[in-house]
Structure 1
Amino acid sequence: MTSDLVLVPARGAPLAGDLVVPGPVRTVVVIAEGSSSSRGSSRDRALADALHRAGMGTLLLDLLTELEKREDARSARHRFDVPFLTRRLVAAIDWLEQRPETAGVPVCLFGAETAAAAALLAAADRSQRVSAVVTRGGRPDLTHEELQGVKAPVLFIVGGEDETDVGLNQEAAGKLGAPSEVHVVPGATHLFHEPGSLEEIVTVARDWFVSRAERTRGPD
């Protein structure tokens, strides 16, 4: 599968991304993490590969520039600035609309950690473009009281051994006006390093996006 290195303009700070569009697709999934590089993440690449096999496009997007990553490693300044991360995800959604191979194609969002909160807010901000959201080990509490604006169905993936995450995500699911589900990975902690956790995340996330694509598919 050919991956194109792209630069997504975001208020003067071009963001590096890997874009794969395997022919005509019905969905493009933007995959992002709050502080680290989605482009360099083996977990995110495993998810992207599974989505390609299911006939979806992907954009593995780094929400921070290299300078910002270095600053964030020292201060955690950017990873908890959810409005800042949200603006960057919204910029990516708008950029996909301007590209000929993805214009008019519904966008799905996969956000991990604090990027999960940004994905939810971006879905609310671009409700006509975002058709589904999946979060992994997310902090939906950082969205505060703005969850009612989310119209797309949301799957929250949490580790069963992290009671705080389970509680926060269940509470967020209860506040949503959109369909939602909390998927608990048994025996997994917050970072999902346990054997089998990655495979389960990939499977349930792929199935959620596939299911949503099937519901929005028009007559062939």
Structure 2
Amino acid sequence: MAVDILEEEDVTIGLPALQGSLVIPSGARGIVIFAHGSGSSRLSPRNRYVADVLNENRYATLLFDLLTEAEASDRRNVFDISLLARRVQMAVNWTLEEPKTADLTLGLFGASTGAAAALVAAAALGPAISAVVSRGGRPDLAKEALGGVTAPTLLIVGGDDIGVIELNEFAARHMTCTRKLQIVPGAGHLFEEPGTLDRVIALSISWYDQYLT
């Protein structure tokens, strides 16, 4: 699918100067901010692939590093959900204040621990967030924030991701917003099996089409 790209640039978000990659296709229908998982970054091949297909479907995307290089070297920060959630909020606020993106409806896409951070941020930001998607996430780590999420939330889990399925079921039970748990048969935690990541993308686009545009 050929879509013209209106803007594509590296950006710096707030302090401590988080590095990000912003892509805005022509006629963008909304923007999706990515919150990557533990030990990953804005350069995650899986998230960049998801972002490319979202761009082709006229969704703007912002991938950014939740931690600086120095912060990421301390493994405790990688699992500090409160810290990561504050960084997601920082990116959302930057997007709302940036003239190029201020008028676009906002969605979040979280993976692994980034999914918990996205949900905590969504609970804090309320109506500023229109939709959330979690890929192989740990939404259970959002804990008491789960009940405060108002944005429609899609939880996608691999059928072979034993243990994480149950954690997502737990999270769904503690949420009061519109939510759906979608299991992708034959997929592991990282959705590396043939066709499984494409299924994640199709489910995500359908969710954003319904709630983000």
Same fold (TM over 0.5): yes
Kept in 2, the 8 Å contact 1:30–1:110? The answer is yes
Give, as a single letter, the amino acid of the residue that structure 2 aligns with 1:185.
V
Q: Within 2, Cα distance between the matches of 1:107 and 1:210?
A: 12
What is the deviation of 1:106? 1.6
CA distance in 2, matches of 1:111, 1:190: 13
Q: Deviations over 1:161-195 (max 9, x none)?
A: 12211111012112111111111111111122212
Q: Please, which of 43, 67, 71 is the counterpart of residue 70 of structure 2?
A: 67
* Cα distance in 2, alignment partners of residues 13 and 98 from structure 1: 17
The answer to whether 1:195 aligns with 2:194 is yes
Can you give the 5+ residue segments of structure 1 that lack an aligned partner in the other structure?
215-220
Aligned length: 208
| 1:56-105 superposed Cα distances (whole Å, 9 cap, x missing partner) | 11001111112222x14xxx211210000000000000011111111132
Task: Choose the corresponding residue for 1:35, options 15, 33, 38.
Answer: 38
- Give distance in 2, aligned partners of 1:38 and 1:136: 15
Alpha-carbon distance in structure 2 between the residues aligned to 1:49 and 1:79: 25
Equivalences for residues 66-215 of structure 1 within 5 A: 66-69=69-72, 71-72=73-74, 76-214=75-213
How far apart are 1:196 and its partner, in Å?
A: 1.4
Q: Post-superposition shift, 1:20?
A: 0.9
What CA distance in whole angstroms lies between the structure 1 residues aligned with 2:38 and 2:20?
14
> How many Å separate the matches in 1 of 2:150 and 2:112?
21
Q: How far apart are residue 155 of structure 1 and its match? A: 0.5
2: CA distance between counterparts of 1:183 and 1:202?
12
Partners of 2:40 and 2:8 lie apart in 1 by 16
2:12 corresponding residue in structure 1? 7
C-alpha displacement at 1:39, in angstroms?
2.5
- Contact 1:36/1:62, CA 8 A, preserved across alignment: no
RMSD of equivalent CA atoms:
1.4
CA displacement at 1:212 relative to structure 2:
1.1
- Output the CA distance in 1 between the equivalents of 2:103 and 2:8: 21
Q: State the secondary structure of the residue aligned to 2:157.
A: strand
2:57 corresponds to which of 49, 54, 58? 54
TM-score (normalizing by structure 2): 0.92
Cα distance, 1:24 vs structure 2: 4.3
